[in-house]
């Protein structure tokens, strides 16, 4: 069972879900879990719990707090999808990046010297920007939407980044994927493509969930953080 905290950001205070490893929350590696367009819901909390079981303190900040605090919806109904896309359209990427930076600063102030980030969907884009704009030590993005719109920031990446790309992503065209692959050639960046997979193939219970490739991507993520958050 996780706990709730409040983080002071540049524009105000926002909530976050925290899952602690069995060893406790003091020190040790930490990971910022960056939400999808459904808010800090059970999928994101489960991601935090999974990473805590791997030995990390995992924190998922509420990035929609400026629009509406405490968004917690699913991908199961048309009404929830409509609300999720409203939130996505209203979301300010730059403000969200500031909130992630504030979350990293909070973790460093709590004694965590090695901090990573992992994001999904919208969070996949934000993980990429976290790698470019913050002092995170390692970042992972799953099927990020809109990364190709920010390729000009790739030169600012100074720490390891790994991206999981769904080749049949309904929200990321093949042309967009090709631009990402052509631009992100730094030795710091690792790209993994998943043939036949659609968006959110790692979302347990989702329409496009694929147990085999989700397990492969998740193991790659665990190994990546084990290497870079020592």
199 is catalytic: yes
Q: Which of 164, 199, 210, 228 is catalytic?
A: 199
140 has which bridge partners? 118, 162
Catalytic-labelled residue, pool 20, 99, 169, 213: 169
Contact 90, 113 (CB under 8 A): no
Q: What kind and span of H or E run contains 124? A: helix 122-133
Supply the DSSP string of 147-205, one letter for each residue.
GGGGGGGGGG--S-EEEEEETT-TTS-HHHHHHHHHH---TTEEEEEETT--TTTTSTT
Q: Would you call 52 helix, strand, or coil by DSSP?
A: helix
* Closest alpha carbon to 228 in 180, 181, 161, 172: 161
What span, in angstroms and rounded, lies between the C-alpha atoms of 222 and 230? 12
Integer CA distances (angstroms), 119 to 34, 79, 123, in order:
4, 24, 4
> Is 137 one of the annotated active-site residues of the chain?
no
Q: Any idea which residues carry the catalytic annotation? A: 169, 199
């Amino acid at each position: 069972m996780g706990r709730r905290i409040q983080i002071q950001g540049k524009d105000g205070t926002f909530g976050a879900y925290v899952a602690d490893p069995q060893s406790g929350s003091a020190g040790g590696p930490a990971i910022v879990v960056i939400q999808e367009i459904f808010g800090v819901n059970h999928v994101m909390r489960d991601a935090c719990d999974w990473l805590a079981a791997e030995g990390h303190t995992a924190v998922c900040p509420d990035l929609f707090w400026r629009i509406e605090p405490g968004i917690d919806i699913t991908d199961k109904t048309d009404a929830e999808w409509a609300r999720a896309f409203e939130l996505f359209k209203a979301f300010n990427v730059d403000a969200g990046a500031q909130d992630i930076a504030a979350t990293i600063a909070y973790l460093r102030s709590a004694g965590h010297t090695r901090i990573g980030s992992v994001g999904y969907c919208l969070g996949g884009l934000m993980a990429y920007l976290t790698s470019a704009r913050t002092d995170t030590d390692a970042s992972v993005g799953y099927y990020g939407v809109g990364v190709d719109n920010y390729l000009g920031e790739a030169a600012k990446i100074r720490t390891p980044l790994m991206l999981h790309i769904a080749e049949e992503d309904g929200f990321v065209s093949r042309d967009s994927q090709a631009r990402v692959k052509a631009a992100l050639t730094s030795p710091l960046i690792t790209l993994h493509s998943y043939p036949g997979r659609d968006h959110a193939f790692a979302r347990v219970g989702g329409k496009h969930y694929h147990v085999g490739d989700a397990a492969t991507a998740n193991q790659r993520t665990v190994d990546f953080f084990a290497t870079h958050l020592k």
